[in-house]
Amino acid sequence: MTSSSPSPDTKSPSKAMAISEEHFLNRELSWLAFNERVLAEAARAELPVLERVKFLAITASNLDEFFMVRVGALQFLREQGRRVKDPSGLTPTQQWEQIQQRATAFVERQYEILNDELLPLLREKGIRRLNPSELTPAQRTHLEAYFSEHIFPVLSPIALDDDKPRVSVPALQIALLCKVQSVAEGKMTQRLVLFTLPSNLPRHVLVPEVESGLHAYLNLEDLLSVFLHLYFPSEKVTASARFRISRNSDIAVDDESSFDLASEMEDILEARLQSPAIRIEIEDGAPRDLVKSIRDLCGAKTAQVYTVPGELDLRAYFVISGLSGFEDLKVEPWDSQASPQIEPGESMFDAIKRGDILLHHPYESFDPVMQMIEEAAADPDVIAIKQILYRTAKNSRIISALIRAAQAGKHVTVLVELKARFDEARNLERAEELLNAGAQIIYGVRGLKTHAKVCLVMRREAGHLVRYMHFGTGNYNEATSKLYTDISYLTCRQNYGSDASAFFNTVTGRSRFVHFERISMAPFGLRERLLSMIHSETERARQGEEAEIMLKMNALEDRKMITALYEASQAGVTVRLNVRGICCLRPGVKGLSENIRVVSIIDRYLEHARIYHFRQGGRPVIFISSADFMNRNLSKRVELLVPVEDKEAKKRLTHILETHFADTSRGRVLKQDGTWAPPAANAAKALRSQEIFAKEAAKRIRQRNQAPDVLVPHRPKE
């Protein structure tokens, strides 16, 4: 099935309509709608239970970050009395109030799915979270020995006295506040004691002596409650309450006035530990007086308090979703395939020289990208490697290769973005390793966040310098490359090489911006190039030509870009948008956006690729990019927009877009009122785009392996 184009009567140019606030959807509410679509996957009865559990954990992690960053920013504006409206016409206070309503309903739905569906199903399948009352005497004895050896020495009870400084409760850690009663000399006294459960302790403690094939566990907070009395000999714990706080993490480094960005970032990380509480989650059933004490302790004046009908911190279900021995409760794996464009054992330099290589991850393995960098580190003909690192894997093969390259005497320049939120500490640590190996380290670009994905390798060949490049839509992270859908483009085209060198000179040397021949860079022209492409299609439509725009991105929020798409629709351009998350554009408005269709895909992999397609009179111009259509990407970050010129690569990118728009299984269509609905399936069998890509990747490599044992023929460059 292919996605249908608008009917002729809706495709004709419309009378121009003035664009106003009502034509924009609120960014924060649109993000919450995205998380609701993810939660809908956790509710899918046809999915294996551990896949559903994984989606539940994703929604919890997403919501944590949303509160810490987006709600944190709104809270700052509210405290400052700012009444500036967003493009949809809402003030910070109005947004905050609507977020609380929506988030409250969302949390209720999370726990409905967990308590009413997932936990009973897990128990039925042999994965059981036990309550303390279910423990046998033998299990209790075993757990007491475990607690005494592994937990008791680690935790530190903190008495909360009125005459002592306020205690800082760590963010996102489960905490327990208890009342302890003691009697001395016939007089009874009572005090409050706080425990926090550090993240380096296991959340789930295995319970022994259960039936074969079962996985039984006790949550760490339950284990603490069972043996809490061990901390208070001769005293009595009369009540306890569990809670968890989220702190405002919307704290940015002022690198315009910073002389030492690395030291400044360390200060920011420290400041986040003490930032105001934004959200307090308290487990249902807590005594009223302890709830008041928790609110006072955490500063509830600036925080929203949620009573949670179940266990805290559902992110822990990531561990449950990955349990070994329960493969029948997981989805059937789709293996990442090798690229048929690369011969087994072939040098990546030889493969790229033969023709541009397009990889669609994770259906096609990320290994060729890592292989190119690892080969470059060991190759005596490689003289220099330049790379941008934004988010990397915990034990990154790429960073290890760059360290080896520097140690081997190659000229290695790495721009490490220290402002990659929540990855700052890891990036600081790895940057230090690179520095010690002899690499040149650039800590980001002053005043901007560097988000571009590019690696440049310079190699001497027959007396000439040849540049090999990787451009991507995703991070240099071999872990997330198995979970996110992204595009890699490997090339050694000369004009791209010249542009890549000029790009690195611009960002590392802060040299004056120069015009690039092929690529475009934000914030110095990327937005303008995209706008010129949209305007070109708009003008073609006004001249009576067939005009079409297909865009795939993670988020669409930028007002200028949305306005340009509205103008294109009014001129009669067919506009199809595949937007994973935030979408502030309102489709289907008569006279404004009836030629615009917006689809979102939520499935096994996180859709992360950015692909931009413009028909251009039947000679399509197609780009991949690190940038979404968001103001922060286009105006406040270093991003890249890369045209893909290889004919076969362009066909594949077009096919990827068309397949997503035809998805009648996991696709959701944005309605005019901002809600999302399943597409009307008029095919005998629903089409699932991610499954199609997995099967196609397997088929391509199977056909390559069955072909005669000859090298892939050289593809001339257009």
pLDDT tens for each residue of 483-518 = 999 999 999 999 999 999 999 988 877 666 668 999
Listed in sequence order, the residues at least 6 apart from 208 whose beta carbon sits closer than 8 Å to its beta carbon are 139, 142
User: What separation in angstroms does the CA of 699 have from each of 240, 339, 656?
Assistant: 58, 11, 16
Looking at the predicted structure, is the pLDDT value of residue 210 above 90? no
H-state helical runs in 593-637 = 631-635
User: Token pair of 338, please?
Assistant: 């090798």
pLDDT in tens, 336-381: 999 999 999 999 999 999 999 999 999 999 999 999 999 999 999 9
Pick the closest to residue 566 from 524, 531, 525, 613 (CA basis).
531
Looking at the predicted structure, is the pLDDT value of residue 416 above 50? yes
Beta 382-389 vs 484-491: how paired, if at all?
A: unpaired
Listed in sequence order, the residues at least 6 apart from 599 whose beta carbon sits closer than 8 Å to its beta carbon are 3, 576, 577, 578, 579, 660, 661, 663, 667, 668, 669, 670, 679
Average pLDDT value for the chain:
88
For the purposes of burial, counting CB atoms within 10 Å of the CB of 403, is it exposed (0-12), middle (13-18) or buried (19 or more)? Answer: buried
For residues 425 and 572, the model is more confident at: 572
360 is catalytic: no
pTM: 0.90
Q: Contact 325/214 with Cβ under 8 angstroms?
A: no
User: Token pair of 389, please?
Assistant: 């690192």
Catalytic residue among 361, 451, 470, 660: 451
Pick the closest to residue 580 from 436, 684, 484 (CA basis).
484
Per DSSP, what are the bridge partners of residue 398? none
Angle at CA 80, nearest 5°, toward 74 and 81?
Answer: 90
Integer Cα distance of 592 and 16 in angstroms: 7
Section 513-529 average pLDDT: 89
pLDDT in tens, 575-599: 999 999 999 999 999 999 999 999 9
Three-state secondary-structure class, residue 513: coil
pLDDT at 396: 87
Q: How many residues does the chain have?
A: 718
Which residue's structure tokens are 């090798």? Answer: 338
DSSP category for residue 151? I
Beta 464-472 vs 382-389: how paired, if at all?
A: unpaired
Section 530-543 average pLDDT: 97
Other Cβ atoms closer than 10 A to 475: 24
For residues 7 and 312, the model is more confident at: 312
Section 459-464 average pLDDT: 93
User: Token pair of 478, please?
Assistant: 């071999």
Which amino acid appears at position 210 of this protein? V
Section 89-111 average pLDDT: 93
Beta 574-579 vs 548-553: how paired, if at all?
A: parallel
User: What separation in angstroms does the CA of 134 have from each of 129, 130, 142?
Assistant: 10, 6, 14
Q: Contact 299/160 with Cβ under 8 angstroms?
A: no
Is-cis flag, bond preceding 309, omega within 30? no
Listed in sequence order, the residues at least 6 apart from 234 whose beta carbon sits closer than 8 Å to its beta carbon are 182
Section 674-696 average pLDDT: 85
Rg of the chain taking only CA atoms, in angstroms:
28
Three-state secondary-structure class, residue 495: helix
pLDDT in tens, 76-89: 777 777 778 889 99
pLDDT at 250: 57
H-state helical runs in 359-493 = 367-378, 397-407, 424-437
